[in-house]
Amino acid sequence: MTVMLEARALRKSFGGLVAVDDVSFTLSRAERVALIGPNGAGKSTCFNLLSGEAAPDTGQIILDGTDISRLAPHVRQRAGLGRTFQIAAVFRSMTVSENVTTALIAAGRSPDNRRALLTEVGLAGLGARLVTDLAYGDIKRVEMAMALAARPKVLLLDEPTAGMAGPERTRIMETAAALADKNGTALLFTEHDMDAVFGFADRILVMDQGRLIADGTPDEIRENTEVKRVYLGDPDA
């Protein structure tokens, strides 16, 4: 399998707190990988290192063979790394089409691609709607369309189902999975909904206290004694 993203021994500290401690993993083309762990495990910091919102103290981030460790977020986006956030990063005073058009122009692509993008994420027919008038699930879809504007090789989804009801959670994860399969995009997503994690991930990474404590298939993670002890809440672990 073609490796699209590689994290090599990433480390990040804030004062005396080591938030990410020697974390290494890879993502392959079209692979869907979940990053889970208890609150404070270091997931958000790890995402910020990958996307460029924070710089690693040590370690490297390799995107499709290129070291992007010290590149700014917008440069990483142009290189093929897209991201969504826990709180949707959209222009709420603009229409759906205006949001996607802005993202396309920023990515150096024609605005004519907006209709196809909106169709891909399930927003066909909603282009003229103001983002403020949308349900939260649809706002997250707008953000996903914006992240896809640069045709990313790797897409980071930070809690994509947060704030959604059960059926909408399933629908947005199905959309993300279909896009990964269609475009060969590698997906890395953080998520607290274990149904989404075990239902859509090909592989699961587990962090605790800044370190990566497990990396395996959903079945392997379910049976991992250390994961059950620190995160899944198995009293017999």
Residue 231 has a pLDDT of 79
The per-residue pLDDT of the chain, averaged, comes to 92
* Buried-exposed string 226-235: b where 16+ CB fall within 10 A, e elsewhere: ebbebbeeee
- pLDDT of amino acid 163: 79
* The predicted structure's pLDDT at residue 237: 45
Per-domain boundaries in the chain: 3-80+153-232, 91-151
Kindly give the pairing relationship between strand 154-158 and strand 186-190: parallel
pLDDT at 230: 85
Query: Regarding the domain with residue range 3-80+153-232, which homologous superfamily does it belong to in the CATH classification?
Result: P-loop containing nucleotide triphosphate hydrolases (3.40.50.300)
pLDDT given for residue 233 in this prediction: 63
Average pLDDT over residues 33-42: 94
pLDDT at 88: 85
